[in-house]
Amino acid sequence: MRIPAEWEKQGFVQLTWPHADTEWYDLPHVLDCYVNVARSITRYEPLLIVTRDIDECRADMAARGFDPSPLPISFVQCPLNDTWARDHGAISVHGDNGEKLVLDFVFNGWGLKFGSDLDNQITRNIFRDGAFAKDVKYVDMRPFVLEGGSIDTDGAGTLIATSECLCSLNRNEYMSRQEIEAHLCKALGLRRILWLDHGGIVGDDTDSHVDILARFCSEDTIAYTTCDDPSDPNYGPLKAMEEQLRTFRTLNGKPYRLIPLPLPDAMYLDDYRLPGSYANFLVVNGAVLMPGAASAKDDIAAAQLQKAFPGRKVEVIDCRALLSGHGGLHCITMNYPEGWR
């Protein structure tokens, strides 16, 4: 078993399309962002769009001057609660004998915070509807709860995750951290988990998903969110996380190359601070798509990611609208390896 790294060759990316009954604060601007994300992804690889109504989705695109017909975009229709594909999407794994596997873990609305009865069935439903290649095998991982945004891997047996999320109440609280680690190591073909015991961003309601905090960029490189303003409430937790990252070692016993990403300027919805993060980037074939915040810090973060991914183009997409749902670019997407479709 082996879970691949995100920078390995991909077959397609999944988007789950918003609609009027999803919990988006400003749906028109969110749809603008989804169209821009779809346009960017299809410059590099195919796109699968999961939607409750294909005609409605096409109408959303047409209203924004986007024609999917000449592009490598396919659609599958499915009931859904919300649109966070990273967390309700399948986890792709290479089997011991070369099998192509999609692992369907339980998605329970980030620890029973939000409705998820339909989203928890999306992977199974789209698999039955032919969303994957015929030689891809579906594996039901129930009752274990896992969201894709809560883990990140180097593809070589190391996974990074936060203890706050994976060990939180209303996920797998019946298991100890050691039991959770053993279960994931077996399911994903891991050699170890690097547990972050510190770190968090104000406004995040996922219990500290790692994909807004620290991400592998290669087997020896981690990009991470940092804060240099002592008056910012994020300062202490992120500094503690940085210190812990400095103690981590590669499987060869060497310190990781650490690339700091600035925390975006504070953004608010009414009086609620939104959890912006440049670490919520998406790696696609030949590029890195980074969520932008229309700030001078966008250029700083993009330059840092260019150091982490020297062979790829770093493309910035304005994703401020997604923060109204407390998420970002990586959160709304799920990538699948080459050959999975």
Residue 198 lies in a domain: yes
Residue 142 lies in a domain: yes
Domain of residue 235, CATH code = 3.75.10.10
Residue 274 lies in a domain: yes
Distance between CA atoms of residues 306 and 323, nearest Å: 24
Distance between CA atoms of residues 219 and 156, nearest Å: 7
pLDDT at 175: 97
List pLDDT tens digits, range 22-53: 989 899 999 999 999 999 999 999 999 999 99
Residue 185 lies in a domain: yes
Q: What is the mean pLDDT of the chain?
A: 97
List pLDDT tens digits, range 135-183: 999 999 999 999 999 999 999 999 999 999 999 999 999 999 999 999 9
Tokens matching residue 67: 């024609």
Q: Are 229 and 235 in contact (CB under 8 A)?
A: yes
List pLDDT tens digits, range 263-319: 999 999 999 999 999 999 999 999 999 999 999 999 999 999 999 999 999 999 999
Q: How many domains does the chain divide into? A: 1
Residue 3 lies in a domain: no
Residue 154 lies in a domain: yes
Tokens matching residue 128: 């039955």
pLDDT at 177: 97
DSSP tag of 309: -
pLDDT at 308: 98
List pLDDT tens digits, range 70-111: 999 999 999 999 999 999 999 999 999 999 999 999 999 999
Considering the entire predicted model, what is its pTM? 0.97
Distance between CA atoms of residues 153 and 155, nearest Å: 5
302-to-5, 194, 276, 317 alpha-carbon distances in Å: 20, 26, 15, 11
Residue 34 lies in a domain: yes
The residues facing 100 across adjacent strands are 94, 136
Sequence-distant (6+) residues with CB within 8 A of 264 are 276, 277, 278, 293, 295, 297, 301
Domain that holds residue 250: 10-337
The share of the chain scoring above pLDDT 90, in percent, equals: 99
Is the per-residue pLDDT at 258 higher than 90?
yes
pLDDT at 98: 92
Please measure the distance between the N-terminal and C-terminal CA atoms of the chain and give it in whole angstroms: 20
Residue 2 lies in a domain: no
